[in-house]
Amino acid sequence: MTSFMPPADRIWWKVPVGREEIVWILIALTWCLIMFFMMPYWHIYGKQNLSNEAYQTTPAKFGAKVQEGIDQYKTGEEAGVPIIHPPAGSDVYMLGRLWQWWPILELEKDKTYRLHLSSMDWQHGFSVQPININMQVVPGYEMVLTVTPDQSGEYGVVCNEYCGIGHHTMVGKIYVKE
């Protein structure tokens, strides 16, 4: 009956520690350090990292950039949403607002793009499916992702941050062409 009684030894911190505890602490500590160093390791050798690149912006400024992209690179429309086909290597702008991702992107496989994301109103979640890449999209901030889609196909952009009653209708598209 002692876990809820004062320690038996007055100087309890001098009581020697049992062997399995010491061994376990060493094993666990090693594992903790491995997990810790995996993160910087992946920054150096891994291929999936987030840049620190982000800017403060406003809905008006960011909206103008998105419109510029649409004016330059629009190739068509789907369900009333413009489709753009920006050149490889370029800056691509996409916005989230209640309840749309705008515009639809057409990208080329194995080409790299600088994708800029921001929100016009509330927070949204940029969730590319089925590849399952998820980013938080926050009003007032423009996040830049350098992305290289390496599988072709049709991807849905589901909003996965709750954004009001129409949240479940907020779906966008990204096409990756061979």
Partner 1 sequence: MAQFRTCPDTGLYFHKSAESLIKANAVAAAVALLVAGLLGLLVVLTRWQAVHLLPADQFYMALTAHGIDALIFWIIFFEMAVLYVASSVLLRCRLATPAWGWVQFLLMLVGAVMTNVAIFQGSSSVMMTSYVPMQAAPHFYLGLILFAVGALIGCFIFFGTLVVAKQEKSYEGSIPLVTFGAVTAAIIAVFTIASGAIILIPTFLWSIGYIAHIDAEMYRVVWWGMGHSSQQINVAAHVAIWYLIAGLVFGARPMSEKVSRGAYLLYILFLQLACAHHILVDPGISAEWKVFNTSYAMYLAVLASMIHGLTVPGSIEVAQRGKGFNNGLFEWLRKAPWENPVFSSMFISLVTFGFLGGITGVVMGTEQINLIIHNTIYVPAHFHATVVTGTTMAFMAVTYFLIPVLFRRQMILPGLAKLQPYIFGGGMTILVLFMLGAGTLGVSRRHWDMDFTGAALGFDYPGMAYTLMGIGAFGGVIGVIGGGIFLLITVGSLVFGKKLEPSAGLLQSFGFPLAASCYTDKRPETLPRAAPLPAGHHTSSFEAPGTFVLALVLLVTFVVYYFINWKYLASVWQLS
The contacts found for 44-50 with CB under 8 angstroms, 24 or more apart, are 50/145
Q: Which does 2 bind (CB under 5 to 8 A by kind): partner 1, Cu ion, none?
A: partner 1
Q: Which two tokens stand for residue 99?
A: 């309840």
Give residue 112's identity as a one-letter amino acid code.
T
Number of chain positions touching partner 1 (CB under 8 A): 96
In 3D space, the residue among 142, 147, 153 whose CA is nearest the CA of residue 176 turns out to be 153
Q: Which residue's CB is nearer to Cu ion, number 11 or number 79? A: 79
Q: Which of residues 5-24 bind partner 1 (CB under 8 A)?
A: 5-10, 12-13, 15-21, 23-24
Q: Which residue's CB is nearer to Cu ion, number 90 or number 136? A: 136
Span near partner 1 by CB under 8 A; candidates 65-73, 89-97, 138-146: 138-146
Contact with Cu ion (CB under 5 A): which of 94, 95, 159, 176? 159
Report in angstroms how near the CB of residue 106 gets to partner 1 at its nearest. Answer: 14
**124 counts as binding Cu ion under rule CB under 5 A:** yes
- Spatial separation of the C-alpha atoms in residues 175 and 178, rounded to whole Å: 10
How open is the CA angle 50-51-55, to the nearest 5 degrees?
A: 125
- Spatial separation of the C-alpha atoms in residues 141 and 1, rounded to whole Å: 56
**143 counts as binding partner 1 under rule CB under 8 A:** yes
